[in-house]
Homo-oligomer: A and B are copies of this chain.
Amino acid sequence: MSYRSQLILAFGQTNMARRPQKNPRKIASQKRSRATVDALLEATARILIKDGYDRASTNKIAAVAGVSIGSLYQYFPSKEALVAAVAERHTQELLQVGRDTLLEAAAKPIAVAAREIVRAGVDAHRVDPRLHRVLAEEIPHTGHLAGINSVERHSFEHFRAYLGAHRDEIDVGDLDLAAFILVTALEALTHSLVLRRPDFLTDDKVEAFIDEVTRLVLRYLAPAPRRRASQRRAKR
């Protein structure tokens, strides 16, 4: 079963709103289902954070969710699927945080866009850092859990497109390579900021961090006429 169909199964039909609700019972039970699924996702996230992936047992998750183990398996065919759903939900939340910023940034010049993007990255990682850590660092990437790194892939595509569109403002040889470098560095930096340097999370320190990372990005992309000029001068 694909992850997508899994989700559909888990969340029930998403077109609820479209069809006229002739059967109130159906709606009631759908609400019930939805509540169960939400409780399970919440419980999973909480336990993942508290105990790590290995010690997060489905029985414990069900208990914390206040749901029977049978219900858990009614909605998620395996522990993996459950964790994958949590990951997906988290991913969606992350993306949501940055989405508008990225869309708006697309039209702005790099000097402006860069700072906004960096800030969006930091904000996104602050959504649920501890969950993010578990998801990023402790999950075996096999089976259902294989395709979880979608955020980076998405970001990569966005970045490459952006760089392509702003080619005249920047100095980049290989678009692919540049996008890879920027996305990887940005992701790692915001990730590590939040997870490894909580001491950097005061408001002013965060601003300094954003300044610096923005500088990293802009200087990397900047065309370097003046530099050459100075070098020429230096050679004289």
Contacts and interface: CB of A to CB of B under 8 A. Distances in A.
State the copy count for this chain: 4
Contact of A230 (B174, B208, B226): B226
Interface string A192-211: 10001100100000001100
B181 A189 contact: yes
Interface residues of A, number: 43
A213 B181 CA distance: 8
A103 to B, nearest CB: 25
A89 interface: no
Contacts of A180: 192, 197, 200
A178 interface: yes
Interface string A212-234: 11011001101011110110000
A140 interface: yes
A151 interface: no
A14 interface: no
A143 B54 CA distance: 13
Interface stretch (A36-44, A60-68, A131-139, A159-167): A131-139
A222 B149 CA distance: 33
A216 B226 contact: no
3 closest Cβ contacts across the A-B interface?
Answer: A188-B188, A226-B226, A219-B219
Interface of A: 52-55, 136-142, 149, 152, 173-174, 177-178, 180-181, 184-185, 187-189, 192, 196-197, 200, 208-209, 212-213, 215-216, 219-220, 222, 224-227, 229-230
24 contacts: A53-B140, A137-B139, A137-B141, A152-B196, A173-B212, A177-B200, A177-B208, A177-B209, A177-B212, A180-B192, A181-B189, A181-B209, A181-B212, A181-B213, A181-B216, A184-B189, A185-B185, A185-B216, A188-B188, A188-B189, A216-B216, A219-B224, A222-B227, A226-B226
